[in-house]
Structure 1
């Protein structure tokens, strides 16, 4: 998967202490990586440079310190909501998941997880696309994961599973397919965001047309 990478180096703080011998400076930097893919009617747009992008951090415009085009391997987990509320939509969402596989590169690895009240890893990360498609096709048969839709809890469990994996030099992503009908009193959004950020995992959601869209993060108990 070919992505554009923008990197910002932000100075977090600088303090000088005047002493008789010499001044001591304390500084810190944070390297923020932003991956961007630009499509036109589903096709990648080529020939872009830094001037074609506007980057903002909490409303303030930032100038990228580095801009480059690169292709790195991807580890992606496709996470399917198999709760009772999905009903007939589950087959449609499974088909959307299979279509997402077509966008992956040869060096990418993909796994599958199902969740309702609980989460299960249906297939570990693999480059066997035929196997993954078969697992996704069987998603409507997964009916032993309890009643309810524990979205945030599933994401936290998945990040814990990923944390035990060997170091990976490429990118990591989660594609979750759900009707967004869960409540998350025990796992607020902030906790999920922190866990994803720690492992540099990008979260993408695919929801049915009539489903409630994800709301703003930051309020425990609300849908993601």
Structure 2
């Protein structure tokens, strides 16, 4: 009887003794590396419409396979400065139309400000979302 009590007490005092194991560290590897790229032409204009096959990727001189490819339209922060001095003459109307068209074609996440200058600079429109 005292043996049973001793065994019962041992199990109550050390219930996990049989299950004590060093936790196995979690290891995870990734083979996906994100490489942001901007491509411009000789006039420093962005080249659009590129596809996966337009790119070659090398690591330590060994060509790697491009597994995923996505073109993204990054948000812009743009400042527009418009000359409204008398020297603009009849070109002022065309200039304002160009500014209006540019602002109209901005994406929702883009932002812009507008400064007009003649004798002095004046902030006409602070940073605003399109």
TM norm structure 2:
0.48
Q: Which has the larger radius of gyration?
A: 2
**So what's the TM-score if we normalise by structure 1?**
0.30
